[in-house]
Amino acid sequence: MTSFPDALPARTVTDPDVRARYGVDESLGATAPEHFEVVRARDLADVVDVLRWAHETGTPVVPQGARSGLAGGSVALEGGVVLNLEGLDTVVEVDPLESLAVVQPGVLNADLKVAAAAQGLFYPPDPASSAFCTIGGNVATNAGGLGCIKYGVTADYVKGLQVVLPGGEVIRTGHRTAKGVAGLDLTGLFVGSEGTLGVVTEVTVKLQPAPEPALTALAVFEHLDAASRGIVALRLDRHRPSLVELLDGPTIEAIQAIADFGFPSGAEAALVVQSDRAGHTAEDVLRYAALLTDAGAIEVAVADDPQESDALLAGRRALHHALEAKGPHFIEDVCVPVGLLTTLIAAGRDISARTGVEITMSGHGGDGNLHPSLFFDADDQHSRERAEAAFGELVAVALAMGGTITGEHGVGSLKARWLRDEVGTASIERQRAIKALFDPRGILNPGRVYW
Ligand SMILES: Cc1cc2nc3c(=O)[nH]c(=O)nc-3n(C[C@H](O)[C@H](O)[C@H](O)COP(=O)(O)OP(=O)(O)OC[C@H]3O[C@@H](n4cnc5c(N)ncnc54)[C@H](O)[C@@H]3O)c2cc1C
């Protein structure tokens, strides 16, 4: 059997520095193994060749998009091949009549939005990493993001897929038509399967009419409970906001530490809220502002135009940068019933006080999906272990509340140890049986998700 790089010389990365870059994703502590190859696929045939060869040789394959993943799902495996799909980056078509687009997996989320907008259409899934993550990665992780409270997640927009299976067989799932119920929903099975069942080589997505440019309201609260009441009121409103993001007090401090975004000192929470409802944005944000004032906001600013809107959103946009500036941290991704958000945050504060681990709580509050960040001293192994233990405690709290270990980032390597706690042994066994059906030799992302 031919070995790499001889099997695909033109696509295999030979420069060790370049190869090392493809060895890790954005997950904390991701480390590239000593021996692995990287193939940058340029077309379907490359993917088929790699999966045929890997199946025959029993070589692990890590499908990879833009490596923005936070769960360790696209980190290279020892002795394996990273199959990078970024080069398959063509928007094949946008069809306004059927309201769909067909794209290759390496198309960036932001570029699909631009292609849709050129035809007056809209692709709603909006991860905060939109500018640099791929649609293939979004499909594999069932990515969420900022607009989920109104628009849902990636799965709500995937109509069909082309997938290459281990061994090189190419299958199509789903349908292009407005409706279609033939057979089992294999599209749904692949969405969120984190590269463990097949490699996605084409995606057909549903598009919507373009919304209005969003208007924003920013509310500041002295008490967390009041912010929670505000979220409940917004969710119960007849016209749901298109975005409801929550920042807790420590997060606001971290953001204000990098620049003055106008948050008052001592605030316990802030909510950023938007409406993009055609013809009604101004009326909606005023109504949201009134709801938030009734809930106990001490200050509410309402934008009159898209420029002001951007300014009010700027603090939220600076979040990732602010947390990076604050220091090394784990990013959590738990989702709980929306009515229990205050309980989750209180539990986080309790864990922080008890363990001494600094924890900021922020994220997609309107969905009950927070990204608590747990900070540690990178030079102190004990500090890191304490943060890891606190991370585990928070996961347990979310599960006890009827929540999930991951709202959108996926299980990957980092959360595989908790999947059984959430879904149970019987479910894990069925999931493994499905994996074995598609990937009998276990070459795709082995050791991840359901192990
Ligand atoms: C600053 C920042 C903000 C973020 N914000 C959000 C957010 O708001 N919401 C959210 O959901 N996520 C967010 N993420 C996480 C990340 O961007 C998403 O998980 C994204 O979907 C990953 O896409 P990617 O192209 O980088 O995939 P990668 O990281 O390369 O891969 C992710 C997973 O998908 C698999 N995969 C990739 N491509 C394919 C393919 N073609 N076929 C089969 N499997 C494949 C990989 O094996 C891996 O398991 C954020 C990340 C960062 C760094």
Where does the pLDDT of residue 4 fall: very low under 50, low under 70, confident under 90, or very high at 90 and above?
Answer: low
Please give the backbone phi and psi of residue 134, each rounded to the nearest 5 degrees, phi first.
Answer: -100, 160
pLDDT for position 408? 96
Mean pLDDT of 369-385: 94
How far are the Cα atoms of 132, 270, 444 from residue 86, in angstroms, in the given order?
A: 10, 37, 18
Is residue 367 a part of any domain in this protein? yes
**Which atom of ligand 1 is the closest one to the Cα of 143?**
11
Q: Report the range of poorest mean pLDDT among 76-85, 238-247, 255-264.
A: 255-264
Number of the ligand 1 atom closest to the C-alpha atom of 26? 53
Place of tokens 């001490």: 298
- Please give the backbone phi and psi of residue 424, each rounded to the nearest 5 degrees, phi first: 90, 160
104 & 78 share domain: no
Closest residue by Cα to atom 15, ligand 1, is 69
Residue 71 sits in a domain whose CATH number is: 3.30.43.10
Q: 297 C-alpha to center of ligand 1: Å?
A: 35
Supply the range of the domain harboring residue 304: 215-313
Q: Is the CB of 134 under 6 A from ligand 1?
A: yes
Q: Whose CA is nearest to atom 21 of ligand 1?
A: 138
From the CB of 63, is ligand 1 less than 6 Å away?
A: yes
Which band of pLDDT confidence, cut at 50, 70 and 90, is reported for residue 362?
very high
Under the banding of pLDDT at 50, 70 and 90, the label for residue 3 is low
Whether residue 363 has its Cβ less than 6 Å from ligand 1: no
CA 352/CA 349 separation, integer angstroms: 5
Residue 66 in contact with ligand 1 by CB distance below 6 A: yes
CB-neighbour burial class of residue 432 (10 A; exposed 0-12, middle 13-18, buried 19+): middle
Query: Residue 115 falls within a domain, yes or no?
Result: yes
- Alpha-carbon Rg for the chain, nearest whole angstrom, is 22
Report the C-alpha gap between 266 and 249 in whole angstroms: 7
Report yes or no: 301 and 272 within 8 Å, Cβ to Cβ: no
Domain harbouring 276, CATH code: 3.30.70.2190
pLDDT value at position 265?
85
What does pTM read for this prediction?
0.95
From 68, 200, 329, 411, give the residue whose CB has the most ligand 1 atoms within 8 Å, as the site to mutate: 68
Candidate of 38, 75, 77, 129 to mutate for ligand 1, largest count of ligand atoms within 8 Å of Cβ: 129
Establish if 445 belongs to a structural domain. Answer: no
Query: Helices marked H in 210-355 — which ranges?
Result: 224-236, 249-258, 281-295, 306-317, 319-326, 341-355
Task: Say yes or no: 369 and 387 in one domain.
Answer: yes
- Is-contact 141 194, C-beta < 8 A? yes
Ligand 1 geometric centre to CA of 128 (Å): 11
Q: What's the whole-number mean pLDDT along residues 101-116?
A: 98
CA-based nearest residue to 267, from 250, 293, 249: 249
Residue owning the nearest CA to atom 27 of ligand 1: 137
Q: What is the pLDDT of residue 2?
A: 55
pLDDT of residue 384: 92
Sheet hosting strand 36-40, strand order edge to edge: 36-40, 80-84, 61-64
Helix (H, G, I), strand (E, B) or coil at 442: coil
> Is the pLDDT assigned to residue 6 strictly greater than 80?
no
What is the CA(415)–ligand 1 centre distance, in A? 15
According to the model, what pLDDT value does residue 7 have?
Answer: 65
Show which of 358, 383, 400 is a domain's final residue.
400
Is residue 199 lining ligand 1, measured as CB closer than 6 Å? yes
On whether the CB atoms of residues 288 and 312 are closer than 8 A, the answer is no
Q: What is the pLDDT of residues 206-220, one digit of tens each?
A: 999 999 999 999 999
CB of 439 sitting under 6 A from ligand 1: no
The answer to whether 144 touches 371, Cβ cutoff 8 Å, is: no
Q: What is the pLDDT at residue 11?
A: 86
Percent of the chain with pLDDT over 70: 98
Q: What is the mean pLDDT of the chain?
A: 95
Alpha-carbon distance 270 to 286, whole Å? 17
pLDDT for residue 443: 98
pLDDT at residue 289, as a whole number? 98
- Closest ligand 1 atom to residue 448 Cα is 49
Answer whether the bond into residue 209 is a cis peptide, omega within 30°: no
Same domain, 68 and 126: no
Please check whether residue 294 lies inside any domain of the structure: yes
CA distances from 20 to 15, 24, 71, 292, 351 (A): 9, 8, 18, 49, 37
- Domain total in the chain: 4
CB 60 less than 6 A from any atom of ligand 1: no
Percent of the chain predicted with pLDDT > 90: 93
Q: How confident is the model at residue 5 (pLDDT cuts 50, 70, 90)?
A: low
104 lines ligand 1 (CB under 6 A): no
DSSP state, 246? E
Indicate whether 339 and 294 sit together in one domain.
no
Does residue 242 line the site of ligand 1, with CB under 6 A? no
Question: Measured from the CB, is residue 125 less than 6 Å from ligand 1?
Answer: no
**Claim to verify: residue 111 and residue 200 sit in the same structural domain:** yes
Instruction: For residue 304, tell me if it sits in a domain.
Output: yes
Task: Summarize the confidence of residues 142-171 as an average pLDDT.
Answer: 97
What separation in Å is there between the alpha carbon of 195 and the centre of ligand 1?
A: 11
How large is the average pLDDT for residues 25-45?
A: 93
Is residue 245 lining ligand 1, measured as CB closer than 6 Å?
no
The pLDDT-based confidence of 264 (bands split at 50, 70, 90) is confident
- 161 CB under 6 A from ligand 1? no
